[in-house]
Amino acid sequence: MNMPTEEKQKRRVLIADDDPVSRCMLASFLAKWGYEVIAVGDGLEALRILQGPDAPRLAVLDWVMPGLEGPQVCQRMRAHPDLPYVYVLLLTARNEKTDLLRGLEFGVDDYLTKPFDSRELRGRLQVGQRILNLQESLVEAQEELRFRATHDLLTGISNRGAVLEALNREYSRQKREGGSFGIILLDLDHFKYVNDTRGHLCGDAVLREASHRIAEGIRPYDTAGRYGGEEFLIVAPASDESGTMALAERIRISIESLPVEAEGGPATITASSGLAVSRGDSPLEPQILIHLADDALYRAKDKGRNRCEIASQPDVILTPPR
């Protein structure tokens, strides 16, 4: 059996130096150390590459170059914080402290004075690589924390706070721009019975699969989240009564279409939904909208479950429940 092998990640370095002899020498050193080298002779070309797609994450820039000097290249690159971070090592014959401080102020990470020792150059590039690896680890950790703060860990869809935030954003947008939007409050039918008779592992499988089918059924600009327990809230922008009902029916049919594969055998599930729409001519606050959808959900349950009911537009503004 062949063991899978991981492709070694190439380390890419940009060299920018207008002296062809120096450029060739640098490229030779870096290639010998296992780096993939891109070499250019002026600052403008260096900036173009560093701001382009798939830019190298390490750069060795000469201070004095045609077009743009090394510190200027770095300064312009740092003016775009949305770009991936590039670790910049500046090569310079200058050794005055004021010059070196100016380079650091322009965003240079480190510098090496000419003539340089090849071992020192290699060591400083290794430091740059470690810093880039550390930065990537921090970004991944930050993304993980952000995901955990906004998503339900069991189902992977948005959590209650995130979907309510989406509802508030849509209401604010409606007040500015008009138009209609709808919400769907969906509840899995007889979920307590599933937990009581099949156990919580089966219940978790049902919740995950229902969430997956809901996520598959919504439009790219809709937001679906776990509202609590076996209840889900879907925010549907740019949707009137008929559009919201069509969306709710599509999700309902998807949920009942196939049994959920779970421990102990397949589990059949259905869902009931209550819908409410905030129209542009009479917008409804989020709490009122949820209250109306909740009332419609109770009607769906009373009428036999596995159905969708839509709330009537109230004649007066209701007071949200405390």
User: Which residues does the annotation mark as catalytic?
Assistant: 230
Determine the Cα–Cα distance for residues 276 and 288; give it in Å rounded to an integer. Answer: 9
Give the E-state strand segments of 65-135 in sequence order: 87-92, 110-113
Rounded to whole angstroms, how far apart are CA atoms 284 and 291? 11
Q: Cβ of 167: how many Cβ atoms within 10 Å?
A: 22
Q: Is 160 helix (H, G, I), strand (E, B) or coil?
A: helix
Q: Which helix (H) or strand (E) holds 250?
A: helix 241-257
Which amino acid is residue 274, in one-letter code? Answer: G
- Per-position DSSP letters for 69-86, written without gaps between them: -HHHHHHHHHT-TTSPP-
Q: Tokens 């770009």, residue?
A: 83
**Could you tell me if 271 and 188 are in contact, meaning their C-beta atoms sit under 8 angstroms apart?**
yes
Of the candidates 56, 64, 55, the residue with the CA atom closest to the CA atom of residue 17: 64
If one counts every other C-beta atom within 10 angstroms of the C-beta of residue 26, the result is 23
How far apart CA 137 and CA 229 sit, in angstroms, is: 34
Structure tokens at 77: 């690159």
Q: Which residue reads 């914080």 in tokens?
A: 81
